Amino acid sequence: MSESRRLPVPEGLVGERIDVALSRMLGLSRSAVAELCAQGAVHVDGHVAAKSDRLLADHWIDVAIPTPVVPGDPEPVEGMLIRHDDDDLVVIDKPVGVAAHPSPGWTGPTVIGGLAAAGYRISTSGAAERQGIVHRLDVGTTGLMVVAKSERAYTDLKRQFKERTPTKIYRAIAQGLLDPLTGTIDAPIDRHPTADYRMAVVSGGKPSVTHYETLEAFPYASLLEVDLETGRTHQIRAHMSAMRHPLVGDSMYGSDPTLADRLGLSRPALHAARLEIDHPGTGERLIMESPDPPDFDDALKRLADTH
């Protein structure tokens, strides 16, 4: 079984190899895209595409993505750290390139698979492929994520995220200098009207509120602290793009690939640095923090050298 998708070539990926482009657009590994190309599952403007083909403006990509399969033999996830663990929940520090759970076309590592391989038993609530998952981080986003182990934790944490009581603080590197330096973006988000693989600020979308503060300004980019009041899919990425300050490395949302290359970033510069939740059993406020991952830290050092 497979899912067929039709995607326009984003402006920021014109001239890019198709394996690199689809990897960024769909969250697949380059090897997974290469395998799809070898199977004849990728077409560009009606022609079977090779993984090394270069994309042109106004082209359309048709791709048949295999439906998700819940792994029978979970694989360990290298670099996934445990920040908190008890009978009700586990908080992990997710590395880049790891999905929260299996999804169409994703053949790489997942949080669910990594926890299972490490011997963790998690809540059986939720869909089969995403049991225990109460919130998610994108494949390219690093940082803190909580997974329910008990049924009461799953129910309570889902309620907390619905009622917006958790605190989620991100660190992000955005292109340019934001004006004002500190502010709130209150703009509705929904699927992009012509590119449904990404989100956009659209009239009639779901209410979405993002608070940001510029921590440090560099010649070409800004280090931000971002506090999510709501938790929409791709919220920070879509809001920053709408402000004309996309996250560095986020070609899906219009970032400059040249700047990403200069800073050594191959993914959106977004890190879930702080998470606060109420413990489902004790009611205690749990506060967890995660340091910047190596690629994020290295990008900041390179920016500092440009002063």
Residues with a known catalytic role: 138
CA distance 146 to 202: 30
206: amino acid identity, one letter: K
**132's tokens:** 């225990």
170: amino acid identity, one letter: Y
The CA–CA distances, whole Å, from 186 to 175, 208, 228, 240 equal 20, 6, 11, 12
User: Considering just the CA atoms, what is the radius of gyration of the chain in Å?
Assistant: 19
CA distance 218 to 138: 26
CA distance 54 to 36: 16
**235's tokens:** 């919220």
CA distance 80 to 58: 39
Per-residue b or e along 243-277, where b marks 16 or more CB atoms closer than 10 Å to that residue's CB:
bebbbbbbbbbbbbbebbeebebbbbbbbbbbbeb
CA distance 27 to 100: 12
Q: Residue 306 class from Cβ within 10 Å (0-12 exposed, 13-18 middle, 19+ buried)? A: exposed
SS3 of 177, please? Answer: coil
**61's tokens:** 């990509």
HEC letters along 83-120 = EEECCCEEEEEECCCCECCCCCCCCCCEHHHHHHHCCC
